[in-house]
Amino acid sequence: MTKGHSEAEAELKAFTADDDAAGARLDQWLAGRTAPELSRNRIKQLIEQGNVRLNGTRVTEPKRKVKSGDIIEIAMPEPEAPEPLAEDIPLSVLHEDEDVIVIDKPAGLVVHPGPGNPAGTLVNALIAHCGDSLSGIGGVRRPGIVHRLDRDTSGVMVVAKNDRAHQALSAQFADHGRTTEMERAYLALVWGTPDRMTGKIETFLGRSSRDRMKQAVVPEGRPDARHAVTHFRVIERFGDPSGAAPVASLVECRLETGRTHQIRVHMAHIGHPLIGDQDYGRSFATKAKVLPEPLRRSVEMFGRQALHAAHLAFNHPATGELMRFETPLPADMMELVAGFRRFHDRT
């Protein structure tokens, strides 16, 4: 067992391998069953530290093969959750007062510390930036995260600096603008173009059965199904000068609900995944091969999903004043859009 913990102190998780598990690596199979709570690296550590039993026998080899019917148990040590440390990470601050801070998050910055990202996050940066102006969330001096952007999504975020603001903002985000003035709008560069200029995508989302790290459109009756609604508006189409159908579009997406990866899943669901999205648009990657240089290279080298949180409006948690913030596309997306415009306008 991990040093300092006994099996009596640990939470025990048990799984029975199904027919599809036959021949899979133990660490890989367990990672698929425990994501996103545990990463594959964390699973590997637990196995190597003797925290996993296979049919009652402790195993320490992550590569051990699994057979149908195997019973796998993980003894989860008590979590070690040190408070995030302050780190001097530059921030683009759009607004700050005693209750909230609004920032323009760059792509590549993880919001909150977690497995695989113990430091170097937005939370670490905010602790350093805000200092004593953080009065505490839940009795701890830390910023209150009320909504998140994926690591590789850029754009506007608001963060609470005290419990009062945290509770008020959390209520607004939970309401999704139904009874408040909250608005969230994103700009996405997608493959192809929707068949209409405006529309609503309404589905149920849940964990993908093929990859538990991803979300998918699922039947309404599934236990983990969550209602998801996205409104979209096509802003600009980038066609082929030969007259063929547009190869890409700049689309505004407004959220009526806030599910994990919602825009990315919804746009892929209607056949127009985000450019650069390795999770939900990988099958479209070959479309770049028909593009002329240097646009082809720009698309192939674009290292993230082309998604930017461009607009955020909310009522200030203390004054009730409507606050609106907008940020332009970051340089990498601007360059990509410019490349498609040049492609569209060439003679």
- Among residues 133, 186, 178, which one has the least CA distance to residue 160? 133
Catalytic-labelled residue, pool 150, 152, 277, 332: 150
Q: State both tokens at 46.
A: 């637990």
DSSP 343: H
Q: State both tokens at 231.
A: 């409104």
For the question of residue 104 being annotated catalytic, the response is no
Q: How many CA atoms lie within 13 A of 231 on its CB side?
A: 8
Strands (E), the chain: 11-16, 52-54, 57-59, 71-76, 93-96, 100-105, 144-145, 154-160, 183-191, 198-207, 215-217, 226-238, 248-255, 307-315, 322-326
Query: In angstroms, rounded to a whole number, what is the distance separating the alpha carbons of residues 74 and 52?
Result: 5
DSSP-assigned letters across all residues of 274-314: BTT-TTT-GGGGGGGGGSPTTHHHHHHH--S--EEEEEEEE
If residue 41 lies in a helix (H) or strand (E), which one and from where to where?
A: helix 40-48
> Which residues carry out catalysis?
150
